[in-house]
Amino acid sequence: MLRGVLGKTFRLVGYTVQYGCIAHCAFEYVGGVVMCSGPSMEPTIQNSDIVFAENLTRHFYGIQRGDIVIAKSPSDPKSNICKRVIGLEGDKILSNSPSDFFKSHSYVPTGHVWLEGDNLQNSTDSRYYGPVPYGLIRGRIFFKIWPLSDFGFLRDSPNGHRFSDD
């Protein structure tokens, strides 16, 4: 009786470890489903939306300007942030609001990206903590699953004028 229970427990632990490892490999190297929270990417991504993220682009260093990425938060290492890539290395970034009389600008250093949320008024992003190292990017979001009224590929940035690098 005891041997039967022990055998069953070992089998259960074995299956859990095996499927846990398969899940880790899938999330790390392919992609997964992510739930986003916070208002910083409105209107593109609302609070509690469920999106699909893929990690292949990051491993092949193919992140482009305009991609929405998930990255490790520079302020809190245990959480992730979800922002749009505004500038890659070498790009000129206009800092502060366009209404400033003297526009100040800076260049994104090599190996870093400049992230901004779509909801510029309510987003803590690179304007607050500076350029983010490329190594902190975890994956790229490209498809929204929930809510069903917004099902489909994600829209371009509503702040299109931010992308100029001249």
Q: Which residues are catalytic?
A: 40, 83
- Interface with another protein, residue 20, by CB under 8 A: yes
Those residues whose C-beta lies under 8 Å from the C-beta of residue 113, and which sit 6 or more positions away, are 63, 69, 85, 87, 88, 89, 131, 132, 134, 137
Tell me the site size for another protein, rule CB under 8 A: 23
- Interface with another protein, residue 4, by CB under 8 A: no
- Interface with another protein, residue 25, by CB under 8 A: yes
Backbone angles phi, psi at 86, to 5 degrees: -95, -35
Residue the block writes with tokens 């859990």 = 16
Residue 100 half-sphere exposure toward CB, CA atoms < 13 A = 9
- Interface with another protein, residue 111, by CB under 8 A: yes
Q: Which is nearer to another protein, 21 or 50 (CB)?
A: 21
Contact region for another protein (CB under 8 A) — 3-11, 92-100, 127-135, 141-149?
Answer: 127-135
DSSP state of 42: T
Q: From residue 52 to residue 71, what is the string marking binding to another protein with x (rule CB under 8 A)?
A: ---------x----------
- Interface with another protein, residue 149, by CB under 8 A: no
Residue the block writes with tokens 């803590």 = 124
CB of 133 to another protein, least distance (A): 5
Q: Which is nearer to another protein, 15 or 146 (CB)?
A: 15
- Interface with another protein, residue 28, by CB under 8 A: yes
Which residue, 96, 81, 138, 92, is CA-closest to 114? 92
Backbone angles phi, psi at 92, to 5 degrees: -95, 130
Q: Does residue 162 contact residue 86 with C-beta atoms inside 8 Å? A: yes
Residues that bind another protein (CB under 8 A): 17-18, 20-22, 24-25, 28, 61, 72-75, 77-78, 109-112, 133-136
